[in-house]
Amino acid sequence: MFLAANSGTSDTLDTWEAFLAKFRWQNILAVLAQKTLTILFYTILFVILRKVARVALHHLFRRYRQKGKYAVARVATMDTLVTNGTNYALWFLYFYAILSALGVPVGTLIAGAGVISLALGLGAQGFVSDVVTGFFILLERQFDVGDVVQIGEITGTVTAIGIRTTQVTSFDGTLNFIPNRNISIVANKSRGDMRVLISVHVFPATPIDQVQDIIAAVNKKLVPNYPDITDGPHDLGITDLGKGDLALQVQMKVKNGAQVTVQNAFLSSYLQAIHEAGIDLPTSTLNLTKS
């Protein structure tokens, strides 16, 4: 019985030895060494290219900052956009090279992935569209960080321009993330002088000439105190606002960002001077009765 067991073990070992002898271990080790060296080469090349790209982009955008021709926020945004895009491209090429070195048919896998391939293709298309649109937004200087813009139905201040999205903070504090590819029409309210239109509501029987004289006197007094006014004030005369509402309108242009301050200062001064002259003006009534 013992001899039979030894005979069975010997047969098993002989079978394994015959099976392992079929492999060409020298060739296998040579292939493994070759692939390892190839992967190591691609890894070193990737690290070098990434470092060179980072240093080159850093020096490039530092030169732009030193020239002072572009806003600091705009240069910083372009720096982030281009750097991230370069990193994504290098990582993609690196993984593609590694898979190819391992003998993985990347092209065949992508071509035969069917629905997954289509989904990835559409996702990549949207990503590329976001990046390209964001680049041209910066290149054409459609808006910069800090500008007040209207994009579609969203109005607010641009707080960040990223590689995929633009962040706009509404006046109520809402932070909106807008994909760059969805930005088609932009109304930039931070370029050039802004118009200020002030309406002083009056009765049909109000002495218009006297009110206009009061407004002119207030303008003469206040204008020197507001250097942000670039044009005007201009008296537009009496205007019919509809539904029996009449108003004297004054128009002026101011530097961007000063419109609210100037409008409040002049309107309050107009109303105070007219009230001191003993002239009655219409007052709005608030109806609190439920219908």
CATH code of the domain covering residue 171 = 2.30.30.60
Average pLDDT over residues 28-56: 82
52 and 129 share one domain:
yes
Q: Are both 76 and 42 inside the same structural domain?
A: yes
Co-location of 236 and 271 in the same domain: yes
How deeply is 151 buried, as exposed, middle or buried, from its count of CB atoms within 10 A (0-12, 13-18, 19+)? buried
Residue 262, pLDDT > 80, answer yes
Say if residue 168 is in the same domain as residue 203: no
**Would you place residue 291 in the very low, low, confident or very high pLDDT band (cuts 50, 70, 90)?**
very low
* 151 in the same domain as 219: no
pLDDT single digits (tens) 58-100:
888 777 766 665 666 667 667 767 777 788 788 888 888 887 7
Q: What confidence tens digit (pLDDT) does each residue in 5-25 have?
A: 455 556 565 565 565 555 565
Domain count, the chain: 3
Q: Domain span at residue 92?
A: 26-138
pTM of the model: 0.47
Q: Is residue 125 over pLDDT 70? A: no
